Amino acid sequence: MPSIFRRSFKSLLAVGLSCATLAAAHPLSARAADCGNSPAHEAFDVAGLKSELMVTALSCKAQDRYNAFVSKFRPALLNADERLNSYFRTTYGRRAQVEHDDYITQLADIQSLGGLKSGTVFCQQREAMFDEINALESSADLAHYAEAKDVAQPASYESCEAPATIDRHSRKGVTKRAATRHTNRA
């Protein structure tokens, strides 16, 4: 590869990393990307809600209410976890677990930061979600509730399209697309 292309690529990569860093610093709603009703989209919504409730439980001493939520919706939560696992396996291959763990960590960090910014009203604002969830009757209700809530997601998980990956079996380096959500991380 000629050196001019290497320098251009490095410059482009540096700009991309800078943009990704800035984007990750601003939490966006999971609704920012309208991915339709794909299994991955629903799983991201439920994971975001579950994390938001966990942060609320830990911050507001509401662990019993969180445990009741998990008990009531265990099958739906396990199903969403499996769909997330499938998304990460399809999208990242061998790095699936690392990327999934990174997503969960980013999710909790963003939601905790939101709690810190809300200050003393955080618990008043968020504990009502436990009452709302307690009124839900089914897995479908939970999925619709999760989609309707303005739950913060890491900005890097906002796009509907999976990242392009190099087809390692092709000599021409053809790219392919996988799954339904995309990360804008470099």
Domain ranges, ordered by start, for the chain: 33-160
Residue 153: beta bridge partners? 28
What local confidence, expressed as pLDDT, does residue 158 receive? 52
Q: Cα separation of 186 and 66, whole Å?
A: 35
**pLDDT per residue as tens digits for the range 15-63:** 333 333 333 433 333 333 444 556 788 999 999 999 999 999 999 999 9
Torsion of CA 9, 102, 112, 72, to 10 degrees: 140
Q: Cα separation of 105 and 102, whole Å?
A: 5
Q: Is the dihedral of CA 11, 16, 21, 23 positive or negative?
A: positive
Other CB atoms closer than 10 Å to residue 154's CB: what's the count?
Answer: 26
Report yes or no: 51 and 115 within 8 Å, Cβ to Cβ.
no
Statement: the pTM of the whole predicted model exceeds 0.75 = no
30 or 100, greater pLDDT = 100
**pLDDT per residue as tens digits for the range 62-78:** 999 999 999 999 999 99
- Which letter does DSSP use for residue 43 in this model? H
Q: Is 142 helix (H, G, I), strand (E, B) or coil?
A: helix
